Every structure is written in C-alpha cells, then in structure tokens.
C-alpha cells in the first residue's frame, strides 16, 4: 500500500546543513576572486571573536531551546494526548528553525576559516554580512519557536484540533441540501465476487482514499468496488481491504494499492472522526481521578459542539460514488450521524457522570443542537438527551444534586439556561 508521500522531518535540517557547508566552502573563494577589492572594515581579531561567538552561541542555543521544547512536548503528551502532540512535534517550522540554527553555526565556522586567509590581512565583506544575516534569521526563528511553544496551552491545543476537524468537514462533506444518490446495496451484492484485495504487511492505518482513481478503475473493469475498511481503520496482515464485484476483467492490484494511502497513524486528511476522537481523549483524560479537571472537559465539549453543528448541516450519506454515466462504481463506509454522536458523547458521559459541571454542559450541548439543526437530526439527539438524564438520575442520589446536574449551562457552572423539573 502507498504511504503518504511525506519527506522525513530530519531531511529539513540536513538540507540546511548541506547548503551551509557548500556555500561556506565555495562562496568565500568566489568572493575573494571576483570582489578582490571589497573587504570588511572589521578588524581581524574582532571578526574572529564575532564568528567564534556566533558559532559557539548557536550550538548552545540550539541545545537549550530544543531541550526545553521537547520537554514541554513530552509534558503535553502526558497531559493531553500523545497522538495530538505528535502533530505539534512535526511542525515544519520547528525543523526549519533547527536548520537555520545549524546553518548559522556551520557557516560561521566556514567564514572563520577565511578571515586573514593566507595572511592576507582581510575579512571578506559579503561573508561577514551573511553571517550577521543568518544570526538575525536565527533570532527571528527563536522568537517564532517561543510562539509555537505557546501552542501547547490547552486552549490553543483545542482550537488547533477543532480547526483540523472543521477543515476536513468542509473538504469531505457536501451541504445537506445537495443532491444525494439512493443507496442501494443490492446493485452490487447480487453480482459475483470477482476479486479481493488483502493487506499483506504489519498494522497500518488507512489515511486517505483516492476515490477518483478507484471509480475510474471500477469503470474500466466494468465492476463495482466495495471498500471493506474505512478511512481511519487500522488493518493488519491478511485483512481484506476491498472486494470487486461483477468485473469483466481483473483490476491491477498495484493500481488499487496506489489509490489507498496507508501510514503508521491516523491523519486529519479525510477523517473527521479523528478530530473528535482527539478532543474526547483530552476530555476523558481531564476527567480521570488523577487529574480531575472538568473545566478542560467543558472546553473540549465547546469544540465538539461546533464540529457536530457543522456535521449536522452536512450530507453524511456520501458512501455511494457513481461514474459519469450514473452507474454505481464505488461503495465506501462513512460514519453515520449516530456514529458521530456516540463518539462525541458516550465516553465523556461515562467518565464525567459524577461531575455536575460536565453534565450541565452536555445538557446544554444536546439541546443547542436540537434547536439549531434540521429535523432529521432530532431523533438521535433526543435519544442522547434521555441517556444523559438517565445518567444523572443514576449518578446523583440527592434530589437537589440531580436538579443541579439537570440544568442546561454552556459554561458548566456559569449562567444557567433553565432548570429541568424532570429528574
């Protein structure tokens, strides 16, 4: 199967280092030949002291800054979710900063070797300014890194995760009023099974599907492809990935595998559930007895509510894909509205059952969804409204506590919407 075509993050600082060495060894040589009369007014001892300070200082700064960054990332992985913090640690800005620091260190050393070269008594002019320019770039990168480390604050982490979910919802799902095909499984299940694609490797997550390529392959073969695994699923050795029904000729397995992107972990690319999954992870970790931070869970529910509002206004029935002639060619499993609600509510409801703050926020969340979403979403939301009330009745023995937990409150313990008499 094809993995995401992502260049390893280690290549970024390595590229900076290679370029710095090449330029550091070649450019001063060109400069001394082409611009013989262009020399810096800096004295040789001063130039040597400046270059040496920059080289040694950059090496020390790199170690201190990135030791601090990775300690904070490790802390955040423990406090929030290791799956979420992995996205932060792969931030290209961080690795470009490493590259700039490394380039400054290496070029300063290379430039140092050209000071008073062959006892010329000269300091190359352009090279000296280039060293200072790299130093200023390193300072700018340092400031940017401090801002990036601020992203590890809980509000920013939640906003980052919510933004990823909002982007993928916008990209994957059409609006609710868009035309939807009539899903008819009998169209292909009555056809003979002609081909099965099986995963033959270690555990990997399905990160994305090239549906255009799969539809084209199905049309060329005259058959219908049914995906057996959804985006976000982890497949192990000998797991069936897809079936082909009614094909007049076999489809090249290499072409099929090229249309399926696999990797070591789930991504946001085509997986709206992943953003909700991470938000739920943060919430239930905050509700664990070791942390006991219901306010963080309430903040996670704010993001979850926004994602559910967007999903509720989208057409989720997109698993049936047809060719230009209107013939069914590809069937892909996508989460239903019930699947999203179960993911968003069930674990937080269970872990936060004894928290008045969480129950009040969830009551407000469900009723806000009911008041804002189309009628086709009501039945499932009414079901979760009843489940929340059942959880409250079971978790609180005191009648007054039940009444307090049954209040709708968007802050959890803030400004109540109204009190429920049904306990």
Based on the domain organization, do 33 and 67 belong to the same domain?
Answer: yes
Does some domain include residue 253?
yes
Check whether residue 230 and residue 346 sit in a common domain.
Answer: no
Q: Bigger pLDDT: 232 or 68?
A: 232
User: Which structure tokens are listed for 333?
Assistant: 């499993």
Distance CA 402, CA 269 (A): 42
Binned at pLDDT 50, 70 and 90, residue 307 comes out as: very high
Integer Cα distance of 12 and 343 in angstroms: 37
Whether 315 has a pLDDT exceeding 80, the answer reads yes
Does 77 or 338 have the greater pLDDT score?
338
| 70 and 25 assigned to the same domain | yes
- Looking at the fold, whether 118 and 27 belong to one and the same domain comes out as yes
Report yes or no on 62 lying in a domain. yes
In this structure, the answer to whether residues 223 and 294 fall within a common structural domain is no
Nearest Cα to Cα of residue 357 among 281, 302, 276, 282: 302
Residue 179 domain flag: no
Average pLDDT of the chain is: 85
Residue 171 lies in a domain: no
Q: Compute the average pLDDT of residues 114-141.
A: 78
Collapsing DSSP states into helix, strand and coil, what is residue 39?
Answer: strand
pLDDT category at 88 given cuts 50, 70, 90 is: low
pLDDT tier at 49 (50, 70, 90 boundaries)? confident
β-bridge mates for residue 39, sequence order = 124
CA 21 to chain centre: 34
- For residue 29, what are the domain limits? 2-152
Cβ-count burial 179-204 (b if 16+ within 10 Å, e if not): eeeeeeeebbeeeeebbebebeeeeb
Instruction: Note whether residue 46 is domain-resident.
Output: yes
Q: Does some domain include residue 212? A: yes
> Are residues 111 and 10 located together in one domain of the fold?
yes
Rounded CA-CA distance 154/352 in Å is 19
CATH number at residue 245: 3.90.1170.30
In a domain, 389, yes or no: yes
Average pLDDT over residues 100-108: 89
The pLDDT of 404-410, averaged and rounded, is: 89
Mean pLDDT of 298-310: 96
289-302: pLDDT as tens digits: 888 899 999 999 99
Same-domain status, 255 and 276: no
Give the total number of structural domains in the chain. Answer: 3
pLDDT confidence of residue 290: 82
From the number of C-beta atoms within 10 Å of its C-beta (0-12, 13-18, 19+), residue 47 rates as buried
Residues 126 and 244 in one domain: no
Return d(Cα 21, Cα 15) in angstroms, integer.
10
Looking at 115-271, which runs of residues are DSSP E strands? Answer: 193-198, 204-209, 224-227, 234-235, 240-245, 260-263
| Residue 195 domain-assigned (yes or no) | yes
**Residues 286 and 383 grouped into a single domain:** yes
Say if residue 248 is in the same domain as residue 376: no
**Residues belonging to the chain:** 423
Q: What pLDDT, on the 0 to 100 scale, is given for residue 144?
A: 85
**239 and 285, same domain (yes or no):** no
Do 280 and 196 reside in the same domain of the chain? no
Question: Which of 124-128, 383-387, 388-392, 412-416 has the least mean pLDDT?
Answer: 124-128
């Amino acid at each position: 199967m094809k993995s995401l075509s992502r260049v390893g993050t280690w290549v970024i600082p390595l590229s900076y280092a290679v370029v710095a060495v090449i330029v550091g060894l070649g450019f001063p040589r060109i400069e001394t030949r082409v611009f013989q009369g262009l020399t810096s007014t800096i004295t040789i001892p001063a130039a040597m002291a400046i270059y040496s300070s920059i080289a040694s200082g950059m090496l020390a700064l790199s170690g201190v800054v990135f030791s601090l960054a990775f300690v904070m990332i490790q802390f955040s992985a423990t406090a929030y979710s290791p799956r979420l913090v992995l996205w932060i640690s792969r931030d290209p800005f961080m690795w470009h900063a490493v590259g700039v620091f490394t380039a400054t260190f290496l070029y300063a050393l290379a430039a140092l070797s050209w000071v008073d070269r062959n006892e010329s008594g000269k300091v190359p002019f352009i090279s000296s300014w280039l060293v200072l320019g790299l130093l200023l770039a390193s300072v700018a990168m340092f400031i940017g890194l401090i801002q990036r480390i601020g992203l590890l604050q809980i509000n920013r982490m939640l906003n980052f995760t919510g933004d990823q979910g909002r982007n993928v919802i916008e990209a994957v799902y059409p609006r609710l009023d868009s035309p939807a095909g009539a899903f008819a499984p009998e169209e292909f299940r009555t056809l003979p099974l002609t081909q099965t694609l099986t995963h033959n490797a270690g555990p990997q997550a399905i990160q994305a599907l090239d549906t255009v390529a799969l539809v084209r392959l199905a049309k060329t073969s005259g058959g219908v492809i049914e995906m057996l695994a959804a985006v976000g699923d982890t497949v192990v050795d000998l797991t069936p990935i897809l079936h082909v029904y009614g094909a007049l000729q076999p489809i090249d397995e290499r072409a099929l595998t090229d249309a399926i992107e696999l990797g070591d972990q789930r991504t946001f690319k085509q997986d709206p559930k992943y953003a909700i999954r991470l938000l739920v992870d943060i919430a239930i970790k905050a509700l664990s007895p070791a942390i006991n931070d219901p306010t963080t869970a309430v903040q996670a529910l704010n993001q979850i509510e926004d994602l559910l509002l967007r999903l509720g206004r989208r057409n989720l029935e997109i698993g049936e894909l047809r060719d230009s002639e209107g013939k069914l060619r590809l069937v892909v499993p996508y989460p239903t509205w019930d699947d999203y609600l179960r993911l968003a509510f069930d674990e937080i409801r269970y872990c936060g059952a004894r928290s008045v703050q969480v129950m009040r926020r969830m009551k407000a969340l469900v009723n806000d969804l009911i008041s804002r979403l189309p009628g086709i979403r009501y039945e499932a939301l009414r079901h979760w409204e009843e489940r929340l009330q059942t959880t409250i009745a079971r978790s609180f023995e005191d009648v007054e506590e039940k009444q307090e937990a049954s209040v709708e409150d968007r802050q959890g313990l803030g400004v109540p919407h109204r009190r429920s008499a049904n306990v």
